[in-house]
Structure 1
Amino acid sequence: MTLQGFKGNKQSLPRKPCAACGRDMVWRKSWAKNWAEVKFCSDACRKGKHA
């Protein structure tokens, strides 16, 4: 994903659900290189410690 036209409108960022809790995750710059592989919203969900 490229953010050339990004002007601060976060509504247009990609979203997908967390595999553990189902919470909607919004694209982050730190996930730019591996967005396709991101499955969990947090370390707690990744470790299976979600509520």
Structure 2
Amino acid sequence: MTDLEYISSAGLRVLLKVQKYMNKKGDFKLTHVSEVIEEIFEITGFNDILTIE
């Protein structure tokens, strides 16, 4: 996720679906999240849902 500078609402929905699926199967962590994307996660509340390292 290092070079990601933009994520659409569709991308956020995909991450949410993956997180829900992985809650049943194992761990899901996002690593090397850029500051821009981390700010989007904070604004949308996704930082409370996703594991970000």
Q: TM-score, normalised by structure 1?
A: 0.25
Structure having greater relative contact order (Cα 8 Å, sep ≥ 6): 2
Q: State which structure, 1 or 2, has the greater radius of gyration over its C-alpha atoms.
A: 1
Q: TM-score, normalised by structure 2?
A: 0.25
Higher fraction of strand = 1
Higher fraction of helix = 2
